[in-house]
A and B are shown apart, each in its own frame.
Chain A
Amino acid sequence: QKEVEQDPGPLSVPEGAIVSLNCTYSNSAFQYFMWYRQYSRKGPELLMYTYSSGNKEDGRFTAQVDKSSKYISLFIRDSQPSDSATYLCAMSEGIQGAQKLVFGQGTRLTINP
């Protein structure tokens, strides 16, 4: 079993829809939770990060972390065609632990005009 599980999709929704992306994980030592966006043939770029449990909002994007359930989510409101990309969740143990990021498989998202 992988440390981080993510539904690979693909996911296709109409423009303006609310998109929900999710990951589950098994390592309770993870403290930092991140969402990266990756366009075709590019490196991943950080969208949002959250420390421990809770919600964080940035414009049209909301990240949620539920450590008790080992479950994280990313919501995209008023989705735009430019949001079409692969979305990767990533996690890190942080300061006292490993520095590496552990990624999910990535969900390929297409927003149709």
Chain B
Amino acid sequence: DTGVSQDPRHKITKRGQNVTFRCDPISEHNRLYWYRQTLGQGPEFLTYFQNEAQLEKSRLLSDRFSAERPKGSFSTLEIQHTEQGDSAMYLCASSQPGLVPYEQYFGPGTRLTVT
């Protein structure tokens, strides 16, 4: 078990382009979370899946953002028509009920820069 992985680690895109990030959780974890972290701030919750069901979305997740977890394993986060304000670190985390309550294991993040 190598932990939560995210791809790509860095993405530079021009304003208006679409980008997609991938997260592979720890294999037995059925919960998957997306957070966004800007410089000097703590992570902010975006959305959460239990298996393939998207159970909660933050109001931070505008219509330009969409997340999927089609088979209950990996997840993708897509941002359409990127804006400079989307520049941030996008973190994925996973957890398994029954272990340390709500211990979420984080991946290394995808750093997005919108120019």
Kindly identify which residue among B4, B40, B56 contacts A8, using a CB–CB cutoff of 8 Å. Answer: B40
CB distance from A83 to the nearest CB of B (A): 19
- Chain B residue numbers with a CB within 8 Å of A106 are 40-42
Complex partner residue of B45 from A94, A95, A102, A105, CB under 8 angstroms = A102
Which listed residue, B4, B40, B41, B56, touches A43 by the CB 8 Å rule?
B4
User: Chain B: interface residue count, which band?
Assistant: 20 to 34
Query: Contacts of B40 on A, CB cut-off 8 Å?
Result: 8, 105-106
Q: Measured between alpha carbons, how far is A32 from B55 in the docked complex, in Å?
A: 20
Q: In the complex, what's the smallest C-beta–C-beta distance from A93 to chain B, in angstroms?
A: 9
Number of A-B residue pairs having CB atoms within 8 Å of each other in the complex: 68
Please measure, in the bound complex, the distance between the C-alpha atom of A101 and the C-alpha atom of B42, giving whole angstroms: 11
Chain A interfacial residues counted at CB < 8 A: 28
Binary CB contact string for chain B from 1 to 23 against chain A (1 if under 8 A, 0 otherwise): 00010000000000000000000
CA distance A98 to B102 in the complex (A): 11
Q: Establish whether residues B106 and A43, one from each chain, have CB atoms under 8 Å apart when the complex forms.
A: yes
Residues of B within 8 A of A94 (CB): 101-102
Q: Is the CB of B43 within 8 A of A44?
A: yes
- State which residues 19-57 of B face A: CB under 8 Å: 31, 33, 35, 40-45, 48, 55-56
Give the residues from 62 to 110 in chain A that come closer than 8 angstroms, CB to CB, to chain B: 88, 90, 92, 94-95, 98-106
| B104 and A46 within 8 A (CB) | yes
Are B106 and A100 in contact, CB atoms less than 8 angstroms apart? no
CA distance A38 to B101 in the complex (A): 20
Contacts of A22 in B (CB 8 A): none
The residue of chain A having its C-beta at the shortest distance from the C-beta of B33 within the complex is A100
Bound CA–CA A42/B107 (angstroms) = 8
CA distance A41 to B111 in the complex (A): 9
Residues in B lying within 8 Å of A, measured CB to CB: 4, 31, 33, 35, 40-45, 48, 55-56, 58, 91, 93, 100-109, 111
Partner-B contacts on A (CB < 8 A): 4, 6, 8, 32, 34, 36, 41-46, 49, 51, 88, 90, 92, 94-95, 98-106
| Beyond A101-B33, A101-B102, 7 additional pairs, beta carbon < 8 A | A36-B106, A42-B108, A44-B106, A100-B58, A103-B44, A105-B41, A106-B42
